[in-house]
Amino acid sequence: MIDKNQTCASGQDSIPYMTCLIHILEEWFGVEQLEDYLNFANHLLWVFTPLILLILPYFTIFLLYLTIIFLHIYKRKNVLKEAYSHNLWDGARKTVATLWDGHAAVWHGYEVHGMEKIPKEGPALIIFYHGAIPIDFYYFMAKIFIHKGRTCRVVADHFVFKIPGFSLLLDVFCALHGPREKCVEILRSGHLLAISPGGVREALFSDETYNIVWGNRKGFAQVAIDAKVVSCVKLIIQLKLS
């Protein structure tokens, strides 16, 4: 322990800054041996950090199913309005987008630079990297809906449509599994379309350096040519893992 007559002044007999800070906190909170408590808390952090990293992917899946449950409740409450409204799902989309955008900001410090380049009207083709769980793209879709009021269609793998409970989620957020002609039709109709050329192979075999795994997949370029979508939009997406 530190003698109360000692000070934190610099000099030959000065006390290390952290030791002095701990002493001040002990007097402030009226506790003794605060350093032992801090060491114990640090030990717990090292023990539970791997567990948190292990749980994180499952937490994302939990959020997806929570979103699906909300959509089912929303559908049941608004089933009588469906015949009178062309935008039945806009309220649900905005609610879900707001929740996911909040999660992105708090949990990951997620940021998108260049959002102003996404057009408020007209077609645009967005090409993105496919992570093991493309949560950064989920956040991106939420931001597009919040800031642009637009739904971004996305090409998903066939197996996603077979996951139990996902059919409503995919339908509400306008996911499709191709083919190329359908993608061209969507762009010609003036919608936003997102494609990940690497797909599931990139999700499974890429690594933490985010190397793209596209192989010879160039169909997205042909889609842009056929739909006459020639403008190029550069987006910088930052996902800060906390």
Tokens of 174: 């306008």
Tokens of 178: 């191709």
Catalytic-labelled residue, pool 43, 86, 113, 130: 130
Active site residue 130: yes
- Total residues found in the chain within this entry: 242
> Is the separation of the CB atoms in 156 and 200 below 8 Å?
no
Amino acid at 73: I
In angstroms, the CA 60 to CA 52 distance is 12
Q: Which residue(s) pair with 155 in the sheet? A: 176
Give the strand pairing for 152-155 and 111-113: unpaired
> Is the separation of the CB atoms in 70 and 96 below 8 Å?
yes
Active site residues: 130
